[in-house]
Amino acid sequence: MAETALPGPGGGPDFESWACPLPLRDYPRVVLGHGGGGALSEELVRHLFVPAFGNPALDALGDASLVDVPAGRLALSTDGFVVRPLVFPGGSIGELAVNGTVNDLAMRGATPLYLTAGFVIEEGLAMSVLGTVVARMAAAAAAAGVQIVAGDTKVVERGHGDSLYVTTTGVGVVPSGLPPIGPAQARPGDKVLLSGSIGDHGIAVMSVRESLAFETAIVSDCAALHGLVGCILHDDGRIRVLRDPTRGGLAATLNEIATASAVGIVIDERRVPVKPEVRGACDLLGLDPWHVANEGKCVAVVAADAAAEVLAAWRAHPLGRDAAIIGEVEAGRPGLVATRTSLGATRVVPMPLGELLPRIC
């Protein structure tokens, strides 16, 4: 957290024992002063962030945190989170900020170790909301076994931000012996696996958007995936690609892999798990579930002779119970993703253009 030394004993007022006529701790909303680097900032850090994320590296409140790193290659990733609303069925911006970065590390085969977190807060955000987000971040970090070891808080004037943005940076370690895992490693003949049903996160968030509230039992699939990845990692090179299909959904992820590896990918549409409620909501909104975001699913491209093993390992894992082999990699038509439809026809799965735009009818 932004570090400001407290005036020590005998060196000016001692804020800890001084009774302020306007108790600092009782601001119901974030005010500009919480980002000003003074007493209010200090207060926020000491009474909100440090207790929530508490660990020796953070508690030291130094300009930088010192942490131990095991042998191997460092994996680094950073990501900004701007989701609305801040809290949605099955998660919040807090869980997303932790799991999103943990997953980015996991997709390279890294064991996530440490996170840093930056908060850009709009003046006026209810302190209780910030508290909830921070508590959920802490819980997600604990569940993922990572420590939040440094951070920063800025407050922007009302109207100059959208209540709260969170940026997390993650550090992990890839064991030295692990062959490269990445989007460019897919080879013809490989199998494509998906760890579970798609579209849950995007539909859960949309279901509570102000302009779009509709009833659904769908909750976000937001989860840290390094456990799911860890149980299939091998140093024999048979795991080629790991990707979490977030924004742009499954369609974007498959297209990225096909392009990066210069291979074709053919998916059997019937094998891609989509919950009936998600499909129903997508039908209603004119959206394609293959374009909707996920926050707790993994696509793996693996050597054909590893597919059964990976499938079994995933199905035995709580986050992979609905895992399926959904298709294969082929040499023809590099960069192209195609799918066999339930009618037995074949069509191209295009890269989604950008925003999800519900159709008019």
Binding site for another protein (CB under 8 A): 211-212, 264, 266, 270, 276-277, 279-280, 283, 285-286, 328, 330, 332-333, 336, 338, 341-348, 350, 353, 355-361
Per DSSP, 173 falls in state E
- As a whole number of Å, the end-to-end CA separation of the chain is 49
Q: Which one, of 119, 120, 77, 118, lies nearest residue 99 by Cα?
A: 77
Q: Prior bond to 85 cis, omega within 30?
A: yes
Per DSSP, 345 falls in state -
Residues near 176 by Cβ (< 8 Å), separated by ≥ 6? 71, 72, 73
Give backbone dihedrals phi and psi of 252, rounded to 5 degrees, phi first.
Answer: -65, -45
Q: Which one, of 143, 309, 117, 114, lies nearest residue 222 by Cα?
A: 143
Q: Which one, of 2, 63, 85, lies nearest residue 37 by Cα?
A: 2
Residues near 43 by Cβ (< 8 Å), separated by ≥ 6? 24, 25, 34
Task: Determine how β-strand 346-348 pairs with β-strand 337-340.
Answer: antiparallel
Contact predicate 323/193, CB 8 Å: yes
Q: Which one, of 110, 322, 313, 70, lies nearest residue 226 by Cα?
A: 110
- Cα→Cα distances 243→20, 160, 216, 223, 297, Å: 52, 34, 27, 14, 9
**Alpha-carbon radius of gyration of the chain:** 23
Please, what is the minimum distance in Å from the beta carbon of residue 327 to another protein?
Answer: 9
Please, what is the minimum distance in Å from the beta carbon of residue 333 to another protein?
Answer: 6
Given the complex with another protein, which of 172 and 264 has the nearer CB atom? Answer: 264
